Amino acid sequence: MGRAAMRLTGSQLRCVRGGREIFAGLDFTADAGEPLAVVGANGAGKTSLLRLIAGLIAPAGGSVTFAGGEDDLSPAEQAHYLGHRDALKSALSVMENLTFWRAALGGEATDLDAALNAVGLDHIAQLPAAYLSAGQRRRLSIARLLAVKRPIWLLDEPTSSLDANGQAMMADLMRAHLSRGGVIVAATHLPLGIAARELRIGERVS
Amino acid sequence: MTALLALLRRDIQVALRVGGGALIGVLFFLIVVVLMPFAVGPDLALLKKLGPAILWLGALLASLLTLDRLFAADHDDGSLDLLTMSRTPLELICLTKAIAHWLVAGLPLIVATPILGLLLNLDGDATVAVALTLLAGTPALTFTGMIGAALAVALRRGGLLLAVLVLPLSIPVLIFGVAASNAAVLEPAGFGAPLSILCALSLAGLVIGPLAAAASLRHGLD
């Protein structure tokens, strides 16, 4: 790539939601090529951490920096966020949803058919999203990560509602992204299917 | 730019398809105006006098009716999160959403006005004048309403807050809209001044609305 390897760093992050401190003094680094798995109990702040990196929550303290990317863009503008809510419009077809997000997020002329093919939805490209199952909606959200090239993937329970086949597919896609020098931060309870470094948050001494 | 055009297209498509609700506003407008002659009674002179006010009131309520979903729908399905992560300024995204909303909810009201004017015993010139005032004034309603819609999302309060916040802001638009329409019906000389003020309100809304809406959306992110 000709530039320094990418590295996402959070230092002394503090997150407060609804007047309650979720975590404080949190440090992490996510390097290109090695996924960071955020683990912890329910309510430990896994989703909060991802949303904080994505710029969707303002940190109460600390900062997130991204080295090796585009200097004039914030980390959030170089990141994909795959959350619980899938950002799909039921009235639009599978292809229309994907076309919209490609234009809204990046605008590069990537091959949408290939992206749909990769997640196994190419046979229902013209079906309105209203008729998709939970797993298919998840697959369509994952196709968004392929349709727009962004170096950071923030994945919140990426394998939820996917079948065994879909989980293997997601592991392959993550591996491919990492081998291109991408960064992955995933919050999960389930095994990701690939070797990952663990970041344990919200541990209370008991 | 492609991002904004895509957003404009998507919002219009979603509104026009089944369950999109583009027609709710214009149907409500139709109901209000059609019922009014039955409520007022067969007094043609009175109807003609009240006509512009009825049209304006119907249009104002109809445009408020659909405004609360402007950001709420995108917030609920997570689209708003992704839009704030795009490389387009949030102000321009708000502006684009407001324009799309006006095209599907405001413009049909203006198109329907000449037909509804017949029911209120307004002659041709008067209905065209009322339609013209609506064309100048409804953008102001959309832009001020957008601030309320963004605040409703940011503060997680529903439609009631929107009505309380937006109604005071829309009163000046109503006053000058009805004043301009009445002038067109009764004394054409006084038409220009209130129409200019309506245009000014719309232009001011065009600038302030997106800035205020984006600021409140940013503040309310969580």
Confidence of residue A152 (pLDDT cuts 50, 70, 90): very high
pLDDT at A3: 58
Give the pLDDT confidence score for residue B166 in this predicted structure: 84
What is the pLDDT averaged over residues A148-165?
90
* Residue A79 to residue B81, Cβ atoms within 8 A: no
Q: What whole-number distance in Å separates Cα of residue A189 and Cα of residue A187?
A: 7
What pLDDT score was predicted for residue A107? 67
Q: Assess whether pLDDT exceeds 90 at residue B182.
A: no
- Asked whether the beta carbons of A156 and A85 are under 8 A apart, the reply is no
Q: How close, in Å, is residue B164 to chain A by CA atoms?
A: 25
Query: Chain A: which residues have CB within 8 Å of chain B?
Result: 17, 51, 54-58, 73, 76-77, 79, 81, 83-92, 96, 99-101, 103-107
* Phi/psi of residue B36, nearest 5 degrees: -60, -45
Mean pLDDT calculated for residue range A105-112: 80
* pLDDT score at B40: 85
Mean pLDDT of B46-66: 87
Contacts of B6 (CB under 8 A, 6+ apart): A99, A100, A103, A104
Task: Calculate mean pLDDT across residues A139-145.
Answer: 93
Which residue is closest to B220 within chain A, CA to CA?
A: A57
Say if A1 falls within a structural domain: no
Q: What's chain A's average pLDDT?
A: 88
Q: Is the pLDDT of residue B187 over 80?
A: no
Domain that holds residue B195: 2-220
What is the predicted pLDDT for the residue at A2?
47
Query: What domain range includes position A193?
Result: 7-200
pLDDT at residue B158, as a whole number? 66
> Could you read off the pLDDT of B132-142 as tens digits, one per residue?
999 999 999 99
A162 lies in a domain?
A: yes
Higher-scoring residue by pLDDT: A127, A197:
A127
Q: What is the tally of structural domains in chain B?
A: 1
Residue A1 has pLDDT above 50, yes or no: no
- Computed over every residue of chain B, the mean pLDDT equals 88
Chains A and B form CB pairs within 8 A to the count of: 82
Asked whether the predicted pLDDT for residue A204 surpasses 60, the reply is no
Q: Which of B31, B18, B26 is nearest to B66 (CA)?
A: B26
Q: Find the closest chain A residue to B4 by CA distance.
A: A104
CATH code, domain with A19: 3.40.50.300
Q: How far apart are CA A76 and CA A151, in angstroms?
A: 11
**pLDDT score of B91 more than 90:** yes
pTM for the model: 0.90
Question: In angstroms, how far is CA B17 from the centroid of its own chain?
Answer: 20
Q: Kindly state whether residue A205 falls inside one of the protein's structural domains.
A: no
Q: Given this model, what pLDDT does residue A50 score?
A: 92
Residues of B within 8 A of A84 (CB-CB) are 78
Q: Residue A18: inside a domain, yes or no?
A: yes
Chain B positions touching chain A (beta carbons under 8 Å): 2-3, 5-7, 9-10, 13-14, 17-20, 76-79, 81-88, 221-222
pLDDT at residue A159, rounded to an integer: 87
Q: With contact defined as beta carbons under 8 Å apart, do A137 and A64 qualify? A: no
For residue A179, the model assigns a pLDDT of 92
What per-residue string of b and e applies to B130-142 under the rule 16 or more CB within 10 Å gives b? Answer: bbbbbbbbbbbbb
**Domain tally for chain A?**
1
Q: Please answer yes or no on whether B85 and A87 come within 8 Å at the CB atom.
A: no
Closest Cβ–Cβ partner in A77, A83, A103 for B81:
A83
CA A189/CA A179 separation, integer angstroms: 24
Q: Does residue A2 belong to any structural domain of this protein?
A: no
Gap between the Cα atoms of A27 and A83, Å rounded: 22
The answer to whether the Cβ–Cβ distance between A56 and B81 falls below 8 Å is: yes
Q: Is the pLDDT of residue A108 over 90?
A: no
Assess contact for B108 and B172: CB atoms under 8 A: no
B167 or B92, which is more confident:
B92
Inter-chain touch B86–A81, beta carbons under 8 Å: no
Q: Residue A82 above 90 pLDDT? A: yes
Cα dist from B43 to A26, A151, B38, B75, B117, whole Å: 74, 70, 10, 48, 15
Q: Are strands A152-156 and A20-31 parallel, antiparallel or unpaired?
A: unpaired
Q: What's the whole-number mean pLDDT along residues A60-71?
A: 88
Task: Among A54, A91, A101, select the one facing B19 at the smallest CB separation.
Answer: A91
Task: Give B219 to chain A, closest Cα distance, Å.
Answer: 9
**A135 pLDDT tier (thresholds 50, 70, 90):** very high
Partner-chain contact A77 B77, CB within 8 Å: no
CA pair distance A153, A143, nearest whole angstrom = 13
- Residue A48 Cα, gap to closest chain B Cα (Å): 9
Residue B5: the pLDDT is 92
Nearest CB to B85 within list A77, A86, A100: A77
**What confidence score (pLDDT) does residue A141 get?**
93
